Amino acid sequence: KDANAALLSNFEVYQLLTDLKQQRKESGKTKQSSGQQNLNTIMYETLKYISKTPCRYQSPETVRDFLVAMKAHKLTK
């Protein structure tokens, strides 16, 4: 499968962004380019929004169970 064409659930986006935020916190870099600052703003705004949705309380198992249950309906993108 083409990894660039995959869809992500809100849970996966939330998990990726929180992991990335943690990695950046641990690295402790202070000097950033303007492009990096823009990316940080996008990450912050996305995390702020997505943290208010139910995906914050989901787990990989619930997402997998949902996908298995929906597979029988043969939905398309």
Condensed to tens digits (0 to 9), the pLDDT of residues 2-22 reads: 667 778 889 999 999 999 989
Is-contact 10 53, C-beta < 8 A? yes
The pTM of this model reads: 0.74
> Rounded distance, CA 14 to CA 3, Å?
18
Q: Mind spelling out the 3-state secondary structure of the chain?
A: CCHHHCCCCHHHHHHHHHHHHHHHHHHCCCCCCHHHHHHHHHHHHHHHHHCCCHHHHCCHHHHHHHHHHHHCCCCCC
18-71 pLDDT, tens digit per residue, is 999 898 888 876 667 878 888 889 999 999 999 999 999 999 999 899 989 999
